[in-house]
Amino acid sequence: MVVVKRVSAYTICDLLRLLSGGKLAVRSSRACFDLYYVGIPILSIGIGLLISAIIFYTVGVPLDLFINEIGAGFQSYQTLRYSVLLLMLSVGLVMSFKASVWNVGAEGQMIWGMLAGGFVGLFIASCAIYVSPSELSSYISVPGVEVLDASPVKPVISVLRMNPLLGQLLMILAAMLAGGLWALIPAFLKAYVGIDEVASTLILNYVAYQVYNHLVAYVMRGLSVQARQFLRTDRLNSALLFESLPGTTVTLQEVILSLLFFVSMLTLYKYTSIGLRLRVAGSNPQLLRSVGIDERKYVLMAMLLSGMLAGAAGVSILANPGIGKLEKIANVVTPPTFNLGYTAILVSWLSMLDLRLVPVYAYVVASLFQGGGLLQSEVNARFPGLSLTGAALTYIPIGSILLVYVVLRVLVDYSVRFRR
């Protein structure tokens, strides 16, 4: 076999050669930002979307509708919110993927972030109490008091117990702690027992959904009539909710958090020894061991970081003014995390595990995600017979883009030559 040094070639030519039976050869050197770095993710998004469009076309979704709605996703203001959340999640995932720790349990870690943040917000930073109906009017003007349920029999008010900023900070910290601790379980299993983390993180997602249901239904269930009826918590006190940026659904706090995480992870990764060790733990753990560093600790570190960031993303979903409460999960296909934990895997892989590219692909994937949602509502409104589900519209594009990407990714390190 000949090792060929790549001089110049184009992704698409390589692809055609591969399809027509060419053999792979190792690329001996590559520049940091060459065509492949940018070309392959974009190409795989294109091909993956084409595959999904064809799949949806077979049941009668017109192609122009598909293109229109996906395009509309790029301009929708809701996209901004998803991209901020995906940025937060994917930065954490990239850190763990860099250390070859394949954390696919961001869903469960987000759920724990929601639970811990919700617990602090609902029971520590504020509390809900019953008041007598005759006294209800006297509470309305008190600052920090909010009427949750004005029913004439058993009215419920929410009383703020601390400075709202401190309350929000505590919520975020609790969420990060809970997400990180939940992520440490599979990390311990991987580092000290040798159980594959992909399977255990995914199994723990199912456990987290049921813990959520249990806590929401029995421990954190609200006092108001609606909350008791529909198995949900009370609404968070509006002083504790994050602040929406004018005209959008994205909140100021989650923008600050995601930028903070982005910058700090970039710094941690590029300029500190922890970042270097994480990188080496991924590529050559024997080297770490030979210089006397316990590489298992860096498995824990990688998981802890990504779990903490996922927890923060969870509480950002909960504290959004549009949500503000925890509801029982009726079906595991539609969790309150909108499956963003799985979508973030797509973002981190498309960005080639390069932190600098994460914001770009967070925006692109958020647009596709939002476009999928728009397509679903449009199709269900226009063609009542089709009944597309949300799961189909998120998982099919995610899965097909990922699969195409995984295959095309080979072309970054290998070129295709015909053997003479």
Longest dimension (CA), the chain: 93
Interaction of residue 387 with another protein, rule CB under 8 A: yes
Nearer to another protein, 51 or 136 (CB): 51
Please state the closest distance from residue 342 (CB atom) to another protein, in A. 7
Closest distance to another protein from the beta carbon of 312 (Å)? 24
Q: How far apart are CA 52 and CA 45, in angstroms?
A: 10
Which residue, 190 or 235, is less far from another protein as judged by CB?
A: 190
Amino acid identity of 244? S
Site for another protein (CB under 8 A): which residue of 93, 148, 240, 345? 345
Residues 207-246 binding another protein (CB under 8 A) are 207, 210-211, 213-214, 217-218
Question: Site mask, another protein, residues 80-119, x = CB under 8 A?
Answer: ----------------------x-x---------------
Calpha distance 175→182 (Å, rounded): 11
Which CB sits closer to another protein, 31 or 193? 193
Rg (CA), the chain: 24
- Is residue 402 a contact point for another protein (CB under 8 A)? yes
Say how far apart CA 113 and CA 315 lie, in whole Å. 5
184 is a contact residue toward another protein (CB under 8 A): no
Q: Does 63 bind another protein (CB under 8 A)?
A: no
Q: Give the phi and the psi of residue 250 in degrees, each rounded to 5.
A: -85, 145
Residue 399 interacting with another protein (CB under 8 A): yes
Binding piece for another protein, criterion CB under 8 A, among 31-39, 147-155, 164-172, 329-337: 329-337
Beta carbon nearer to another protein, 320 or 415: 415
Of 318, 109, 117, which Cα lies nearest the Cα of 209? Answer: 109
Burial 249-271 (b: 16+ CB within 10 A, else e): bbbebbbebbeebbeebeebbee
Q: With CB under 8 A as the contact rule, which of the stretches 71-79, 138-146, 176-184, 410-418 interacts with another protein?
A: 410-418
Q: How far is the CB of 45 from another protein (least distance, A)?
A: 13
Sign of CA dihedral 230, 236, 242, 243: positive
The secondary element (H helix, E strand) that includes residue 261 is: helix 252-271
Establish if 389 lies at the interface with another protein (CB under 8 A). yes
> Per rule CB under 8 A, is residue 1 in the interface with another protein?
yes
β 145-149/156-160 pair status: antiparallel
Rounded to whole angstroms, how far apart are CA atoms 371 and 377? 10
Among positions 42, 63, 166, 391, the unique one binding another protein when judged by CB under 8 A? 391
By the rule CB under 8 A, 50 interacts with another protein: no
The Cα–Cα gap between 14 and 109 comes to 40
Q: What is the dihedral of CA 171, 173, 179, 180, to 10 degrees?
A: -170
Q: Does 206 bind another protein (CB under 8 A)?
A: yes
Cα–Cα distance for residue pair 266/276, rounded to 1 Å = 12
What is the contact surface with another protein in residues (CB under 8 A)?
1, 3, 23-26, 55, 59, 102, 104, 185, 189, 193-196, 198-200, 202-204, 206-207, 210-211, 213-214, 217-218, 331-333, 342, 345, 349, 385-389, 391-400, 402-403, 405-407, 409-410, 413-414
